[in-house]
Amino acid sequence: MKKFLATLLALVMVLSLAACGGDKGGDTTPPADSGNTGTTAPPADSGSGEKTAIKVIAAEYGQNTKQWWADFVTDFNSSHDNIDLTVEAVSWNDIYTVVNTRVANNDAPDILNIDVFADYVADDLLLPIQDCVSDETYAKFYDAFLEQSNIDGTIWAIPDLASARAMYYNKGILEAAGVEVPTTWDELKAACEKIKAYDSSIYPWGIDMTTDEGQAAFAYYIWNNGSDFTDASGNWTLDADANVEAIEYAIGLVKDGYTNSDPANETRYALQDLFGAGKLAMMIGPNSIPTYIADNYAKANTPAEEQIDYAFAAIPTNGSNPSVSAGVMDRFMVFDNGHSDEKIEAIKEFFDFFYEDERYSDWVLMEGFLPATSAGGEIVAAADPSMAPWVEIVGSCKFYPTAKAEWADVKQGVINVEQQALLGGNVKELLEDLQAQIAG
């Protein structure tokens, strides 16, 4: 008994020693290794001999993002002696939690890379982006992209990349089922029916109505029914008849058994995996799908005969409406943390460095996205011919109304409407309720 206790006590002591030793490594105070912990040090910008610290929080787009930023920071800091840049790449699952917690505690990053920005503008947290970007860099962006970040005549953010959506289809399945590539909703429904008759274990059509990205499904169907979230003057028109019709059509596909079994829980990523495994015939997805599928096959050493043969086409529309591709754009924004002039200069240098054409196209290609600058577009199109049609598409696609302050509520609202409808709710009533709640 005594022996056991002695062992236990010894263990506790060893552990406590280990903990003390380890804590020092994690502590912010010892100067010896504070290089690691620069992120938590109080902003010491204006000091004369001090380095200017810039804190960046960036979204983690995929498996390569973290490494890309790590290399970027090394390159940047070694060529800018007076600046101490730290970049924290946070996964999309967690980024809102992390950013909101920091903002609520007056610990906002200097630069943030995320999708939303209107909320921060509403709270006067941001600096107009033109004050923080050099003129040469600012001139590089497509005007249409900058307009997406316009609130009351001020541009608050610059795009870091974009992606566009199209319909992907499995050529093998469509051929075997004797189906032409559908271009209208009627053709799509007929195609689903034939595919299902051909092999009931294959899902003809993929739909994602999850909390993750259900708003995308909403956009695909209403935009391709000639409708929109708002009217021309920017008033919300969520319960427009064309919207009701569009969502009823989408829900109808689910109810008829033409889609994946659980649209409320199966995210786009789950659909992409089903598509890559040949279990899903058609889905709407981003331009990054080919990179994604090729990566998987390469990692798995999948023999060529087991790989799926697929292509992409315009998203089917209702009748003669023009097909609309959905664009998604993410942004950089600068928080107003009372920056000194040196700091603003440092931030400008950060953006100049990031948007250098070579580095920028490398950033975009890293995870298979689309560029938001014209020079970047040319380089990307030249580097990868398969991207060329996408660079065309992204110039003309529609974007979510993210500049409107109610967008966050609308986004959650339409997802809720979709999920309620999946459970048997009346689409018209649900959308009317939402409209009343948003506009009222």
Choose between 268 and 348: whose C-beta lies nearer to other proteins: 268
In DSSP terms, which residues pair with 154 in a beta bridge?
A: 151
Residue type, 147: E
Using CB under 8 A, which of the segments 134-142, 173-181, 188-196, 293-301 binds other proteins?
Answer: 293-301
Q: Where does 199-310 have alpha helices with state H? A: 214-223, 241-255, 268-276, 289-300
Would you count residue 77 as binding other proteins (CB under 8 A)?
no
Residue type, 239: D
Site string for other proteins, 116-155 (x = CB under 8 A): ---xx-xx-x------------------------------
Number of CB atoms found within 10 A of residue 315's CB: 20
Write down the least CB distance from residue 393 to other proteins, Å. 20
State which of positions 320-359 bind other proteins (CB under 8 A). Answer: none
Contacts of residue 37, Cβ cutoff 8 Å, sequence gap at least 6: 26, 27, 28
State which of positions 358-387 bind other proteins (CB under 8 A). Answer: 367
Using CB under 8 A, which of the segments 115-123, 155-163, 181-189, 238-246 binds other proteins?
Answer: 115-123
CB burial of 230-251 (b: ≥16 within 10 Å; e: otherwise) equals eeeeeebbbbbebbbbbbebbb
Choose between 46 and 100: whose C-beta lies nearer to other proteins: 100
State which of positions 270-289 bind other proteins (CB under 8 A). Answer: 272-274, 276-279, 288
Choose between 335 and 351: whose C-beta lies nearer to other proteins: 335
Write down the least CB distance from residue 301 to other proteins, Å. 7
Choose between 324 and 430: whose C-beta lies nearer to other proteins: 430
Would you count residue 297 as binding other proteins (CB under 8 A)?
yes
State which of positions 155-214 bind other proteins (CB under 8 A). Answer: 201, 209-212
Would you count residue 61 as binding other proteins (CB under 8 A)?
yes
Would you count residue 98 as binding other proteins (CB under 8 A)?
yes
Taking CB under 8 A as the criterion, the residue among 10, 27, 252, 294 binding other proteins is: 27
Using CB under 8 A, which of the segments 18-26, 186-194, 219-227, 340-348 binds other proteins?
Answer: 18-26
In DSSP terms, which residues pair with 330 in a beta bridge?
A: 161
Checking 135-138 for CB contacts under 8 A at 24+ apart, the result is 136/352, 137/348, 137/351, 137/352, 137/355
Distance CA(242)–CA(324), nearest Å, equals: 15
- Does residue 66 sit in helix, strand or coil? helix
Using CB under 8 A, which of the segments 61-69, 146-154, 233-241, 347-355 binds other proteins?
Answer: 61-69
Q: What is the DSSP letter of 335?
A: B
The 3-state secondary structure of 161-193 reads EEEEEEEEEEHHHHHHCCCCCCCEHHHHHHHHH
Would you count residue 66 as binding other proteins (CB under 8 A)?
yes
Using CB under 8 A, which of the segments 58-66, 71-79, 314-322, 336-344 binds other proteins?
Answer: 58-66
Would you count residue 30 as binding other proteins (CB under 8 A)?
no
Taking CB under 8 A as the criterion, the residue among 48, 78, 301, 320 binding other proteins is: 301
In DSSP terms, which residues pair with 370 in a beta bridge?
A: 162
- Specify whether the backbone of 121 is left (phi greater than 0), alpha (psi in -120 to 50) or beta: alpha
Q: How many residues bind other proteins (CB under 8 A)?
A: 86
Choose between 29 and 320: whose C-beta lies nearer to other proteins: 29
Q: Where does 234-288 have alpha helices with state H? A: 241-255, 268-276
Compute the residue count for the chain.
440
Q: CB–CB of 308/147 below 8 Å? A: no
Choose between 206 and 316: whose C-beta lies nearer to other proteins: 206
Would you count residue 5 as binding other proteins (CB under 8 A)?
yes
Taking Cα atoms as reference points, which of 328, 277, 405, 308 lies closest to residue 145? 328
